[in-house]
Amino acid sequence: MRRPMTLLLPALLSVLTAALGTTLNAVPAGADSTPPSASPSTSPPSTSPPSAAPTGADGAPRKAAPAGGQPYASYWHPATILNWNPATDPDARFNRSRVPLRPRASDPALKANANARAGEGRIASLVSFGPTSNNPSQGALDPNYYAFGYWQYVDTLVFWGGSASEGLILAPNATVIDAAHRNGVKVFGTVFFPPTAYGGQIQWVRDFVQKTGSTYPVADKLAEVAEYYGFDGWFINQETAGGDTAMATEMRQLIKYARAKKPVEFMWYDAMTESGSISWQNALTSANDAFLADPGRVSDSMFLNFWWNTGGLASSRDRARSLGRSPYELYSGIDTEANGYDTSVGWDSVFPPGLPHVTSLGIYRPEWTWKSSTSRADFYTRDARFWVGANGDPSDTTTSSPWKGLAHYVAESTPITAKPFVTSFNTGHGDFYNAGGTRVRTGGWNNLSMQDVPPTYRWIVSSTGTRLTPSIDFADAYEGGSSLRLTGKLDAANTVRLYQTKLPVAADTKLSVVVKTPAAGQTHLKAAIAFADAPTTFTTLDLGSTSGTGWERKTLDLSAYAGRTVAQLGLQASAPSPVDSYDIRVGQIAVYDGAVGTPAAPTGLTVLGSSDLSATGKSLRLAWTVSARGPAHHYEVYRRNPDGTRTYLGATPNDAYFVPRLDRVGTETTTVIEVEAVSAEYGRSAAATATVTWSGGTPTETNFAIGRPASASGQCNADEGPAKAVNGSVAGGRTDKWCTLTTAKWLEVDLGEARSLTRFVVKHAQAGGEPASMNTRDFTIEVRSSTISPWTTAVTATGNTSATSTHPVSVTARYVRLVVTRPTQNSDPAARIYEFEAWGS
């Protein structure tokens, strides 16, 4: 993607720290000026070798080994995709999405912002969720993840990636497809042909468009991959020089051929012209319009390069209409990878005030909000500002900043058009996992397959007094790792709009709300419902009192409203006298008919393979047959503990799941694995079971810190959190570490129970490939047996220069803490720890 030569050096530096062959355009989009005459350039492909799922010489991903190893998202070169077969690819089953694309609705009467328009300009989001060759199929044991939550403003998500050194064709992983489809958002994979200066080869383009008789073999595979994995289309970015008119013609014919074969869509990037040359038009022109229509439909949409201007977009709109195409099938690109909401954008060129939108909008790399953040709270603050503006309120985008938020221009859409509808405000990542209000796992995780539909309005609160503060709370949950929390001074009625819906009410429809209060007594909370015949007027239903401090479900009968349609769901808090410190958590809201359904149990649970991580830890690949009465909402995977309790291992809507870590408890010789189906209303089936056998009688020395919950004084970047220091890897590039710049520098790990420890191992900067001068010089290791016990020092290290340091001890501890007092050999202030290991038996 195009930018001036003067910005090449920053782009190179950026790419050297990111394992992706993608581009960076810091040019202001939409400026009414002629682009610089300097030659365009793009950033190089990844220079970092993959840390897992290595490729062969031909760029094809090697098969997962051993049998229980981590599956990854699929990627290929044009020649190697021809060999792909889901029946022989051991990772393929784990990359399938079982969540169909939900229909969406958007009621203009319910749009949050008066300036926003419904049914006009759309938004396409090009997102890099991870490196091309090291992107887990089904989440990971790390809470630090781009858990996107503003789907209501996005129509298409492009799973961005690809590089010359790894693979040019990248299919999205299952978790992203699941989350997007649940929100009614289409998902595209990426086909990326890089410039020749950065590894691109015109032969790869020839391989891509090669024709055999009347068929295009690569196109057949693109359609097959999309159909099997369950996503919707492909984004084609062809920037390799050396093409000609014949090649460009074959490219168009390939797209038309693929679209005719299967229901697969294509978005074309404005780079290759009809002559075959690479010449960014920044508009729909006579040089590139044949990729949209020639005159029949070719691509379903086009992403216009970033250097557009007002006149160019107006002419693009007119040209699209002359071709019989909607101007909203053109996505005017903006590049937010480097500067996020500080990017200069000519908003009025795309979304002129008070007038119909000119085109749609394409956002390149909005995950800047996560990449640039220093904590989860910082990420959520940045993401809110990016999507709904500086006030965190989509109805009020007043700001002195040119960036008003996307909610200022585009009205919200909702996928909540059918019952049952259930949300537990699960964001798809967290520090623990709860099921039915019970803690069934401790430790960080991410899995967008488990993300609920986020609130449509984040946040709109109306009150004649002090407004309460809604937030996503990661300290407690009813289902998953988060809940909704309302806090503040309650001195007047507060109405919190949450969801736009389109839910018909029947004679047996119920609304249930699960709440938790700090003390037994009045909740001062009501469910708020607006119906389609009066969509902005709320009817309230009192949730009454709680009997204790645990989660309690309040079920309301909606039969009195049968025949009407719920248009909005919200909450209203009010009290007869002021409550200075109002605090209530909402763990679940559900609208459903009849009784809560109990699904049939899955059958045929099988351990496809296992891999030993240590003498007391394994990873597993599991598969089962879905419930006989149709697929469940999802399946939850547990282990049965020796004391009869259960520990949550993960969940998926799929019929296969990878368990990243199963820990042996004591000297148990076998572990029973259980998988149960969970209905859309959260009814649970009986469990299917399988048994895992442990070899050997007495466990040998093991690293008890690996995969355990970790916390820290801070982190340098969103992808350098404390979990990276206990993930068992140092080979994942320079973000495979914990890094902090805080004044006090500490990393703490909860080993789960008191362990007898014999040694600590610390892997410093050089162990991960950084200079020896960055190795930690002075540090201590402290231990304690409980959270109320004092810390005691077990290790004091001064003058360390080693890449890996080993420290024998003889202690028993549950909590271990590394305290860095001098982080490097020089004045560099950053502590860099690639692994912190606590060994024992």
Q: Which residue has tokens 């520098």?
A: 745
Share of the chain above pLDDT 90, in %: 82
Structural contact between residues 171 and 73, judged by C-beta atoms closer than 8 angstroms: yes
Average pLDDT (388-415) is: 98
- Rounded to an integer, what distance in angstroms lies between the CA atom of residue 572 and that of residue 576? 13
* pLDDT (average), residues 55-71: 57
Q: What is the pLDDT of residue 67?
A: 82
Render pLDDT for 791-809 as a digit per residue (tens, 0 to 9). 989 999 989 999 999 998 8
Q: Where are the alpha helices (DSSP H) in 277-434?
A: 310-322, 347-350, 368-371, 376-388
pLDDT-wise least confident of 42-56, 693-707, 743-757, 822-836: 42-56
Cα dihedral across residues 372, 377, 380, 386: positive or negative:
negative
Would you tell me how many other CB atoms lie within 10 Å of the CB of residue 241?
16
In this predicted structure, what is the pLDDT of residue 66?
A: 52
> What per-residue confidence (pLDDT) applies to 463?
97
Query: In terms of DSSP bridges, do strands 494-504 and 603-614 run parallel, antiparallel, or are they unpaired?
Result: unpaired
Q: How confident is the model over 601-614, as pLDDT tens digits?
A: 999 999 999 998 87
Task: Please compute the mean of the pLDDT values over residues 677-691 and round it to a whole number.
Answer: 95
Confidence band for 1, pLDDT divided at 50, 70 and 90? low
Count CB neighbours of 120 within 10 A.
18
Average pLDDT over residues 812-827: 95
Binned at pLDDT 50, 70 and 90, residue 39 comes out as very low
Residues 688, 693: Cα–Cα separation, whole Å: 17
Residue 69 CA from chain centroid, whole number: 22
C-beta pairs of 33-37 under 8 Å, 24+ apart in sequence: 33/309, 35/4, 35/282, 35/307, 36/4, 36/6
Assess contact for 429 and 370: CB atoms under 8 A.
Answer: no
As a whole number, the mean pLDDT across the chain is 91
What are the tens digits of pLDDT across the range 441-465?
Answer: 887 899 999 999 999 999 999 999 9
Helix (H, G, I), strand (E, B) or coil at 678: strand
pLDDT category of residue 26 using cuts at 50, 70 and 90 = very low
Q: How confident is the model at residue 629 (pLDDT cuts 50, 70, 90)?
A: confident
SS3 content of the chain, % helix, strand, coil (to 5): 15, 35, 45
Indicate whether 38 pLDDT > 70.
no
Taking the model in full, what pTM does it have? 0.85
Q: Across residues 388-405, what is the average pLDDT?
A: 97
Q: How far apart are CA 538 and CA 34, in angstroms?
A: 52
Tens digit of each residue's pLDDT (9 = 90 or more) over 299-338? 999 999 999 999 999 999 999 999 999 999 999 999 999 9
Euclidean distance between CA atoms 571 and 567, whole angstroms = 14
Q: Is 649 exposed, middle or buried (0-12, 13-18, 19+ CB in 10 A)?
A: buried
- Compute the average pLDDT of residues 528-556: 97
pLDDT of residue 398: 97
Instruction: State the pLDDT confidence band at 812, using cuts at 50, 70 and 90.
Output: confident
Q: Which pLDDT score, from 0 to 100, does residue 785 have?
A: 85
For residue 684, what is the enclosing H or E element?
strand 684-693
